[in-house]
Amino acid sequence: MSSNANKPVVLAIAGIDPSGGAGIIADIRTIQAFSCIPAAAITSITFQNSQEYFGALHQTAASVRAQIEAIVGEHEIAAVKIGMLPTADVVREVVRSLHDFNLPPPVIDPVIESTSGGKLMQDDAFEVLVTELLPRARLVTPNIPEAEKLAGVNIGDEEQMRQAAARIRELGVRSVLVKGGHLKMQRSEVRDQRSVTIDILDDDGIVTLFEGERISGELRGSGCILSSAIASGIAKGLALSDSISEARAFVTNAFRGQM
């Protein structure tokens, strides 16, 4: 117990992937790797592995609230990461819980579909996410398909990523990190003959470009890992840009099998 006395607690609100590649299990591993204490509220039990999505048993709004209430009754929460929110009722309850328990503005990974093929968010839940939850966020971290859906535009290059981030901020979001890993190779992605991946942060109108080496292949759960890592950095008192830099480096190491 004494070794954990000064460690910040990070609350992850998300679904569980029984194969461990994404969701709450990936969140917990990441939060622990950043020397924070993980706490978790499960929104859905999914049935999937790295190859296929079979279905899910979504939790009720009352179940999600009861989990959060039990956690905040014992711990002071330093940061919140939010992932899978399957139903409109669950989204609304998360919004109420953020307010009722005075939780920190969350880092939101707006997951819509599983990489193994399943739809993780109902259409009416997405609407509530946009109108009620995103304006409460410290940061939202969409990949290219998610950013296209949120912004209502097609994204094919760096400039369009910037435009999408600005449009998402118009929804009332304080900060947006548009992740460029899903972009096809564009001329703007070549730096000194190197293939790079780019992410765009629009933090209250201040735009920062993050670049990193593009590594071949795909890391399942990378969005979960990145958002949990950012939340952990925030919990430890890092500035948002520094939290993102450390989180991106962590994901790169995970790609290389060092997680």
Any domain includes 103: yes
> Cα-atom radius of gyration of the chain, to the nearest Å?
17
Is the pLDDT higher at 13 or at 193?
A: 13
Distance CA 198, CA 206 (A): 16
Any domain includes 53: yes
Is the pLDDT higher at 218 or at 175?
A: 175
Do 40 and 48 meet the contact criterion of CB atoms below 8 Å apart? no
Do 207 and 201 meet the contact criterion of CB atoms below 8 Å apart? yes
Any domain includes 248: yes
- Give the structural domain span for 77: 2-137+215-255
Note the pLDDT of residue 158: 92
Identify residue 131 by its one-letter amino acid code. T
Note the pLDDT of residue 220: 66
The CATH number of the domain holding residue 247 is: 3.40.1190.20
Any domain includes 191: no
Any domain includes 150: no
Any domain includes 208: no
Distance CA 86, CA 74 (A): 27
Any domain includes 143: no
Note the pLDDT of residue 113: 80
Q: Residue 197: phi, psi to the nearest 5?
A: -110, 145
Distance CA 162, CA 157 (A): 9
Note the pLDDT of residue 2: 47
Distance CA 102, CA 77 (A): 9
Q: Does residue 217 carry a pLDDT above 60? A: no
Distance CA 236, CA 254 (A): 21
Strands (E), the chain: 9-16, 37-48, 53-58, 77-82, 107-108, 139-140, 175-179, 190-191, 194-203, 206-213
Q: How many domains does the chain have?
A: 1
Q: Which is it for strands 139-140 and 206-213: parallel, antiparallel or unpaired?
A: unpaired
Q: How confident is the model at residue 85 (pLDDT cuts 50, 70, 90)?
A: very high
Any domain includes 41: yes
pLDDT digits 0-9 by tens, 133-182: 999 999 999 999 999 999 999 999 999 999 999 999 999 999 999 998 76
pLDDT digits 0-9 by tens, 6-44: 899 999 999 999 988 889 999 999 999 999 999 999 999
